[in-house]
Amino acid sequence: MTSLPVAELHLHLEGTLEPETIFSLAERNKITLPYADVDELRSRFEFADLQSFLDLYYANMSTLRTAADFADMTNAYLARAALAGVRHAEVFLDPQAHLVRGVALEEVMEGVSSALSTSLESHGVSTGLIVSMLRDHSAASAMSVLEDVLALGTPMLGIGLDSAEVGYPPSKFVDVYAKARAEGLHLVAHAGEEGPPEYIWEALDLLGVERIDHGIRCLEDEALVKRLVEDRVPLTVCPLSNVSLKSVDQLSDHPLRTMLRKGLNVSVNSDDPAYFGGYVDDNLNGVRDALDLNADDLATLARNSVTGSFANDARKAELLAEISVAVQTL
């Protein structure tokens, strides 16, 4: 088992809802689920592609209604992440997915931010919030949500872009990202998971992102790989997710090892761990075994996760020092 301290940079809070939690929240909120029990729900965690996952993912969000629900979800993730070795987490949240269900933005943001505000003391995990925009919704909706979140004053690191990728290029959200940049927010975006390498180029050149989430299809474009290596652009790779959503046939086929050897700035993350079979430790153990990664590879992945984060310099130095100590035990 790996035991390195890491930062997690690609994690959807709504994707941490375990089946047991979904049933517990449904009972609390008097919601009737279309599954007889936890086992039936878990049996549906087989996906043909990204969209088939998203359909179930959004359906299960219906159990999230109150600030307490969002706080409980966030705290449950932080507790499990701490066991996985996560020492810093920059987590995604999809407000639009809750607003369309009639849940007030204040409930969503209050619940998540209350848990994150005490995460270092409660779980030993420093945190930051990235508000993600649903790319299959309108740019006007994204702008409205950004403005409303800013008006609330909820602490956040930056904005992201997620959900169904193909057919929804980053270029659609140029004005939203310009607004976020003007507000001093960090910028990240999903690109190159199912979408083509061109989406990565757009995210970099049109949105001005600092980090690419996924990015595995960059290998199809040598000029893009060269750009990413030269600029040390972090790529937040999610191996078990890629296998679950059929972007990669099996873990032994995952391009992570190739990406490392080419000098790409990759880290390992869990994406939606409740649905894809594992948290960060499960992902790291899986790629270590399937791709025959050595101790140096694992240390590189851990260090990349920290240097690719938006933590302040002091926190980065602290975590890098922890990694240097932990490496001696690998």
Each residue of 108-151: pLDDT tens digit? 999 999 999 999 999 999 999 999 999 999 999 999 999 999 99
CA distance 25 to 61: 10
Q: Given this model, what pLDDT does residue 330 score?
A: 80
**Annotation says 193 is catalytic:** yes
Each residue of 214-272: pLDDT tens digit? 999 999 999 999 999 999 999 999 999 999 999 999 999 999 999 999 999 999 999 99
The CATH number covering residue 235 comes to: 3.20.20.140
pLDDT of residue 3 exceeding 80, the answer is no
Share of the chain above pLDDT 70, in %: 99
Asked if residue 220 is part of any domain, the answer here is yes
Each residue of 260-287: pLDDT tens digit? 999 999 999 999 999 999 999 999 999 9
Asked if residue 132 is part of any domain, the answer here is yes
Asked if residue 1 is part of any domain, the answer here is no
pLDDT of residue 1 exceeding 60, the answer is no
Asked if residue 229 is part of any domain, the answer here is yes
Single out the catalytic residue among 18, 90, 193, 202. Answer: 193
Count structural domains, the chain.
1
DSSP state of 49: S
Contact partners, residue 316, CB within 8 Å, separation at least 6:
306, 307, 309
Asked if residue 299 is part of any domain, the answer here is yes
- Give the length of the chain: 330
Asked if residue 163 is part of any domain, the answer here is yes
CA distance 186 to 103: 26
Contact partners, residue 124, CB within 8 Å, separation at least 6:
82, 87
Q: Please give the model's pTM, rounded to 2 decimal places.
A: 0.97
Spatial contact of 114 and 299, defined as CB atoms under 8 Å apart = no
Spatial contact of 288 and 1, defined as CB atoms under 8 Å apart = no
Can you name the residues that pair with 130 across neighbouring β-strands? Answer: 92, 158
**161, two tokens:** 């872009």
Q: Residues 99, 309, 180, CA angle at the centre, nearest 5°?
A: 45
CA distance 271 to 131: 15
Asked if residue 147 is part of any domain, the answer here is yes
Structural domain that includes position 280: 6-327
232, 143, 214, 111: CA torsion to nearest 10: 110
pLDDT of residue 2 exceeding 70, the answer is no
Asked if residue 184 is part of any domain, the answer here is yes
Share of the chain above pLDDT 90, in %: 98
